[in-house]
Chain A
């Protein structure tokens, strides 16, 4: 990065908060994308750590004038390279936006600054008996604003939906330097196009989110986590739609191959509770009455038994439940060294068994295995293409396309929650009709006429 740019940035945020030595910027160049498919970062990028929206305005105005690329960065937990600066960039780290601005007990809402992590949010809510935020994408070091602009999903979506369902308002700085407040505490608001919804899931291409208002919920009094084991994935997968059709709505239904569960448990020094069988379904439930909770658990177990389940364990205290969630949350990190690509294709939940059958055939075609873990209750499994001898297999692209095709066959999408970022732009071109992409490009153009904010993300912008 040119000296004059560093100088200008130092003038805006102070010299301590401009970091340009590669030694120190290294940690800001990549996210959690699989090593062999992530794009290379431009190592001459500079990291800037502003503290106020006004400083961000100035940085963006300057970058806009000088035509310098700006890439916003949160906790770096993304999985599709959205936060990777592929050309010389100003990396805008939001780590100093740490304040909890307001907990509104009456409207059940919380307003936080962008850089508050999910784990910090959970900590704060622990001090308030009755408040609870349901979204849990796995890695608790994610920034809340990162979860907004990536529209995070994760477990617990069966009952509560995804991040989008819980965001009431954001403060956002536009690439042209204006600060906008979108949404608010309203439950209903019909005043024009809903720009808030555009920002959610925009992967850092439309604006820099600095503040977020989230909806909170009264914490359910009784909760439990069931681990139900099966001999094979077919039995497990078949049980899920039947449970949903019964009208039972757990917070989450997760699927995990036993090999993955064991590896993840070992990775964090824990023990996976189930021993019998080869695959597990994890059900997380919460209810306001204890009897209802047990009734749901029994109903789930009955259906699973009918489908061939061989064992079922129940955790109902916090620690045991957190332990299971922690193991589940670490499945990706623990197995990442074996992964070429962990897809997040999503189909309507009832078609999951059909999709999984197709995927079995695809694996057979390439003489490999697909390991799976994920949000089966949402029709959103992470199906893993494995490395072969530590390398991307030659069939990787072809196999991935086959898997995407299978998803489309059942009305599915190529990404349910990770986003397109910089690793799936080519796939998006095949996936979406050209007109849709045109409209998206048009929107980008309106927000960011000089194409300085995270260009070449989601779709090619030049």
Chain B
């Protein structure tokens, strides 16, 4: 069985700086890491592979430096890493990203299961997984917080959706997107870490995917959504209103604020 884990290299959000006056995001000094949600996806894949002796391939689209994230995934248990990197892929929205990833998956000799994290901490969309599934024409299950059973042709999972938990049985090949509740990602051993630093990461450019991919569908060209501008809202200041007398009318004021903030129905 082959499992593909889709992951993304993201800036360390604790260190990204936001300048509200100039409206810019400075991620230069932030350093990078694997999107935290994707670590859950990787851990889920590695746990399955330990039971079924399957292969785990991690895949990402990004700049050449995203190789680091794939090496890290190998340290944490992936067998192989594939980096989709090409200038032509730059500026992609979720659709163009999903098209690129889906076609790279097609290039693999075979796959049964694709696992991704709930969303990325920088883009925050959570769309790429379902879009990849659509482009591959395979079923998907979102918000998986438990893997119940794996059979020859099926995986049974628990999906936390619509305010309930649903046991869903899905036919391979399939894509699942997991939540952070599914597991606690393990730390790599120091030895795996050392080994992974030297691991070879396959790099596929647009040329390597030309049998599968129309160049018009990738990168900025292939992106139907465009960012017109970015706004960095200033930090919210606390109201700091304190009341000692006439509490009842103060509570009315609070209720008004709760309604404005949509915490209470208006």
Residues of A within 8 A of B (CB): 126-127, 129, 226-227, 270-271, 273, 294, 297-298, 301, 311-320
Instruction: Tell me if B261 is interfacial: C-beta within 8 Å of chain A.
Output: no
User: A19: shortest Cβ distance to chain B, in Å?
Assistant: 15
Pick the contact of B187 from A270, A297, A315 — CB < 8 Å? A315
Instruction: Tell me if B14 is interfacial: C-beta within 8 Å of chain A.
Output: yes
Output the residue of B186, B187, B188, B197 with the most chain A CB within 10 A.
B187
User: B125: shortest Cβ distance to chain A, in Å?
Assistant: 21
Contact (A313, B190) CB under 8 Å given A127-B17, A129-B29, A294-B197: yes
Q: Is A320's CB under 8 angstroms from B197's CB?
A: no
Pick the contact of A312 from B29, B31, B191 — CB < 8 Å? B191
Output the residue of B17, B29, B190, B197 with the most chain A CB within 10 A.
B190
Contact (A313, B33) CB under 8 Å given A126-B15, A294-B197: no
Instruction: Tell me if B203 is interfacial: C-beta within 8 Å of chain A.
Output: no
With a cutoff of 8 Å between Cβ atoms, the chain B residues found around residue A312 in the complex are 189-191
Q: Is B193's CB under 8 angstroms from A126's CB?
A: no
- Cα–Cα, bound, A127→B19 (Å): 11
CB contact list, B168-187 vs A, under 8 A = 184, 186-187
In addition to A318-B14, A319-B36, 16 A-B residue pairs with Cβ atoms within 8 Å of each other are: A129-B15, A271-B184, A294-B194, A294-B197, A298-B194, A301-B190, A311-B189, A312-B190, A312-B191, A314-B190, A315-B187, A316-B193, A318-B12, A318-B15, A318-B31, A319-B14
CB contact list, B52-98 vs A, under 8 A = none
- Cα–Cα, bound, A126→B29 (Å): 11
Q: Is A314's CB under 8 angstroms from B188's CB?
A: yes
Q: Is A126's CB under 8 angstroms from B189's CB?
A: no
Pick the contact of A273 from B33, B36, B187, B190 — CB < 8 Å? B187
- Cα–Cα, bound, A273→B15 (Å): 24
- Cα–Cα, bound, A312→B191 (Å): 8
User: B8: shortest Cβ distance to chain A, in Å?
Assistant: 14
How many A-B contacts if CB must be within 8 Å?
46
With a cutoff of 8 Å between Cβ atoms, the chain B residues found around residue A319 in the complex are 14, 33, 36
- Cα–Cα, bound, A305→B10 (Å): 35
Q: Is B194's CB under 8 angstroms from A313's CB?
A: no
With a cutoff of 8 Å between Cβ atoms, the chain B residues found around residue A317 in the complex are 12, 33-34
Q: Is B15's CB under 8 angstroms from A320's CB?
A: no
User: B71: shortest Cβ distance to chain A, in Å?
Assistant: 12
Pick the contact of B190 from A129, A271, A298 — CB < 8 Å? A298
Sorted from nearest, which 10 A-B pairs have the closest CB atoms?
Answer: A313-B187, A271-B184, A273-B187, A317-B33, A314-B190, A312-B190, A129-B29, A314-B193, A315-B187, A301-B190
With a cutoff of 8 Å between Cβ atoms, the chain A residues found around residue B29 in the complex are 129
Q: Is B194's CB under 8 angstroms from A320's CB?
A: no
With a cutoff of 8 Å between Cβ atoms, the chain A residues found around residue B188 in the complex are 313-314
- Cα–Cα, bound, A64→B178 (Å): 65
With a cutoff of 8 Å between Cβ atoms, the chain B residues found around residue A294 in the complex are 194, 197
Report 7 cross-chain contacts, Cβ distance below 8 Å, ordered by A residue.
Answer: A127-B17, A226-B190, A273-B187, A315-B187, A317-B33, A318-B14, A319-B33
Q: Is A297's CB under 8 angstroms from B190's CB?
A: yes
With a cutoff of 8 Å between Cβ atoms, the chain B residues found around residue A273 in the complex are 186-187
User: A146: shortest Cβ distance to chain B, in Å?
Assistant: 25
- Cα–Cα, bound, A91→B260 (Å): 42
User: B65: shortest Cβ distance to chain A, in Å?
Assistant: 14
With a cutoff of 8 Å between Cβ atoms, the chain A residues found around residue B187 in the complex are 227, 273, 313-315, 320
**Using an 8 Å CB-CB cutoff, how does the interface string of B30-42 with A read, 1 for contact, 0 for none?**
0101101000000
- Cα–Cα, bound, A301→B188 (Å): 14
User: A208: shortest Cβ distance to chain B, in Å?
Assistant: 27
User: B90: shortest Cβ distance to chain A, in Å?
Assistant: 25
With a cutoff of 8 Å between Cβ atoms, the chain B residues found around residue A129 in the complex are 15, 29
- Cα–Cα, bound, A116→B10 (Å): 32
User: A65: shortest Cβ distance to chain B, in Å?
Assistant: 33
With a cutoff of 8 Å between Cβ atoms, the chain B residues found around residue A298 in the complex are 190, 194
User: B33: shortest Cβ distance to chain A, in Å?
Assistant: 5
- Cα–Cα, bound, A314→B196 (Å): 13
- Cα–Cα, bound, A271→B194 (Å): 24
Contact (A313, B14) CB under 8 Å given A294-B194, A294-B197: no
Question: Nearest residue in A to B14 (C-beta to C-beta)?
Answer: A318
- Cα–Cα, bound, A138→B184 (Å): 24
Q: Is A314's CB under 8 angstroms from B189's CB?
A: yes
User: A276: shortest Cβ distance to chain B, in Å?
Assistant: 10
User: A294: shortest Cβ distance to chain B, in Å?
Assistant: 7
User: A253: shortest Cβ distance to chain B, in Å?
Assistant: 15
User: B241: shortest Cβ distance to chain A, in Å?
Assistant: 16
With a cutoff of 8 Å between Cβ atoms, the chain A residues found around residue B193 in the complex are 314, 316
User: A342: shortest Cβ distance to chain B, in Å?
Assistant: 28
Question: Nearest residue in B to A301 (C-beta to C-beta)?
Answer: B190
With a cutoff of 8 Å between Cβ atoms, the chain B residues found around residue A271 in the complex are 184
User: B236: shortest Cβ distance to chain A, in Å?
Assistant: 16
User: B245: shortest Cβ distance to chain A, in Å?
Assistant: 14
Output the residue of A126, A127, A227, A313 with the most chain B CB within 10 A.
A313
**Using an 8 Å CB-CB cutoff, how does the interface string of B231-253 with A read, 1 for contact, 0 for none?**
00000000000000000000000
User: B192: shortest Cβ distance to chain A, in Å?
Assistant: 8
With a cutoff of 8 Å between Cβ atoms, the chain A residues found around residue B194 in the complex are 294, 298
With a cutoff of 8 Å between Cβ atoms, the chain A residues found around residue B15 in the complex are 126, 129, 318
With a cutoff of 8 Å between Cβ atoms, the chain A residues found around residue B189 in the complex are 311-314
- Cα–Cα, bound, A298→B186 (Å): 20
With a cutoff of 8 Å between Cβ atoms, the chain A residues found around residue B186 in the complex are 273, 313
With a cutoff of 8 Å between Cβ atoms, the chain B residues found around residue A297 in the complex are 190
With a cutoff of 8 Å between Cβ atoms, the chain B residues found around residue A314 in the complex are 187-190, 193
User: A272: shortest Cβ distance to chain B, in Å?
Assistant: 10
User: A321: shortest Cβ distance to chain B, in Å?
Assistant: 10
Output the residue of A226, A298, A314 with the most chain B CB within 10 A.
A314
User: B189: shortest Cβ distance to chain A, in Å?
Assistant: 6
CB contact list, B212-245 vs A, under 8 A = none
- Cα–Cα, bound, A316→B194 (Å): 12
Question: Nearest residue in A to B12 (C-beta to C-beta)?
Answer: A318
- Cα–Cα, bound, A311→B34 (Å): 24
